[in-house]
A = this chain, B = another copy of it.
Amino acid sequence: MTITGPLEQAQLLETLVLNIVNHQSLIATKARRLSYAAAGRPIMEFGARRAQGPDSALYGTRAAIIGGANSTSNVLAAKLFDIPVASTMAHSWIEAFPDELTAFRKWTEQYPDNSALLVDTYDVLNSGIPNAVTVFKELRAAGHEPVGIRIDSGDVTTLSQAARTQLDAAGFPNAKITISNALDEHIITSLLHEGAPIDNFGIGEKLITSASAPVLSGVYKLAATESNGQSTPKIKVSASREKLTIPGDKQVYRLYEPGTQRAFADLIALATETIVDATSLTVVTSDPLSVDRQQRLTHFEARPLLAPVDLSNTTSIPVTTIQATTQAKLAELPRTTQRLVNPDLYPVYMTTTLSQLQTSLLNKMTILAD
């Protein structure tokens, strides 16, 4: 992202922009990882009570949907952002009645066509499922079909398999099984590897806080100043080459195999450079650890990623549209870079002009310091 403006104004924005972009990118990324692990099964966002503050729940939910979650139990987020709401019931509903069967009946009276019964308040297999089956039969007799059950504790593989068997035997093969118990992408992968018959995943704290990596360390750096129409590129030097900034006003191109939607690398150039689709271009990898930093690219189509945003145009884009665009963009990236464990690195290059500018500014600053 490039922000251009009077220095004082651009500086005032730093903390807010970083806060929003870091937070929401983090949660969207986590949702993407969970969605990848769930391999097509819906993800329900359940994290409001464990988010780091009320707004964190609200905007975290929005980001989770963009990243690939399918629905949320956060009714305010669902209302404000027009995203699907996921129905759920609480253990306290069950406890508020004299017994579980009465609690289930009272719930299905309210929601005859949208009842996912929570079966683990007392004992999943000996109480929860039998009581759910009783109520499901009553529902069906009254002309309704149950949605299914939710399990929120215990060994999920064992319980979901036994629950599936009991529901099938009772004549409810279409009743869905939802699981929600401190799930993350690795637990989901393991459950599916074991063949647990799970239809939906409800994911709370691990998604809404990105618990495995709760910080995205995005930065906001001065890249250039302008005076009398003259742009001066700027650099922040660091003992670590990874923290060295890339100077100047820039454009980023995504490089595709010609005529396809298959992206294979990104290329950072100065905004003043012209990048044309070419059969051959020498570039420099931006990975400071790479041994062979010069690379020759052949046969690509370059499409710019940065486009101006008109802040006076406040038409908001529907969240589900942003979700669809994001998912389409992700689908363009190499499959090998998308796996959860040991992903291949997606290459990011700089043009030789930009790389030379970075090196010359670094040398100048090092000389100044001597």
Which A residues fall within an 8 A CB radius of B? 7, 11, 14-16, 18-20, 22-23, 26-27, 48-57, 59-60, 90-92, 95-96, 99-100, 120-123, 126-127, 153-155, 205-206, 209-211, 214-217, 220-222, 225, 234-240, 243, 365-366, 368-370
Query: Given A49-B15, A214-B209, are A23 and B56 neighbors across the interface (CB < 8 Å)?
Result: yes
Q: Assuming A14-B49, A236-B121, is B368 touching A99 (CB within 8 A)?
A: yes
B52 & A16 in contact (Cβ 8 Å cutoff)? no
Q: Is the CB of A205 within 8 A of B217?
A: yes
The minimal Cβ–Cβ distance linking A206 to chain B, given in whole angstroms, is: 8
| Complex: A261 Cα to B207 Cα, angstroms | 42
A225 with B96, Cβ < 8 A, contacts A19-B54, A122-B237, A211-B214 known: yes
**A3 smallest CB distance to B (angstroms):** 12
Given the complex of chains A and B, what is the CA–CA distance between A217 and B205 in angstroms? 8
Known interface pairs A205-B217, A222-B92; A53-B50 also in contact (CB < 8 Å): no
Nearest residue (CB) in B for A97 is: B225
15 contacts across the A-B interface (CB closer than 8 A): A11-B92, A14-B92, A16-B54, A50-B215, A53-B60, A91-B221, A122-B369, A123-B237, A123-B365, A127-B369, A153-B238, A153-B240, A153-B243, A205-B217, A211-B214
- CB closest chain-B residue, reference A182: B217
Give the complex CA separation of A210 and B214 in angstroms: 8
Also in contact, A369 and B239, with CB within 8 A (given A22-B50, A53-B23, A53-B56): no
A95: chain B residues at CB < 8 Å are: 222, 234-236
Determine which residue in A54, A96, A215, A216 has the highest number of CB atoms from chain B within 10 A of its CB, and name it: A215
A95 to B153 alpha-carbon distance, docked (Å): 54
Q: How far is the CA of A349 from the CA of B234 in the complex (A)?
A: 62
Give the residues in chain B near A56, CB-CB below 8 Å. 23, 52-53, 55-56
Q: A92-B221, A153-B240 are in contact. Are A19 and B49 (CB under 8 A)?
A: yes
Report chain B residues within 8 Å CB of A205. 215, 217
B-side contacts of A217, CB under 8 Å: 50, 205
**Chain B residues with CB under 8 A of A90:** 11, 14
- Tell me whether A48 and B15 are in contact (CB under 8 A): yes
- Give bound CA distance, A35 to B370, whole Å: 38
Residues of B near A54 (CB, < 8 A) are 16, 19-20, 55
**Most chain-B Cβ atoms within 10 A of its Cβ — which of A20, A205, A214?**
A214
The list of the 9 closest CB pairs from A to B, nearest first, reads A18-B49, A127-B369, A214-B214, A123-B369, A55-B55, A53-B56, A92-B222, A52-B52, A205-B215
CA distance A59 to B51 in the complex (A): 13
A120 to B239, CA, bound (A): 9
The residue on B at minimum CB distance from A234 is B95
Cβ-defined partner of A209 (8 Å) among B127, B215, B235, B238: B215
Name the distance in Å between A147's Cβ and chain B's nearest Cβ.
Answer: 21
Q: Which residue of B lies closest to A128 (CB)?
A: B369
CB closest residue in chain B, given A74: B15
Select A7's contact among B96, B154, B211, beta carbons within 8 Å.
Answer: B96
Write out the residue numbers on chain B whose beta carbons fall within 8 Å of the beta carbon of A235. Answer: 95
Q: Bound state CA distance, A209 and B51, in angstroms?
A: 10
Expressed in whole angstroms, the Cα–Cα distance for A205 and B49 within the complex equals 21
A35 shortest CB reach to chain B, Å: 20
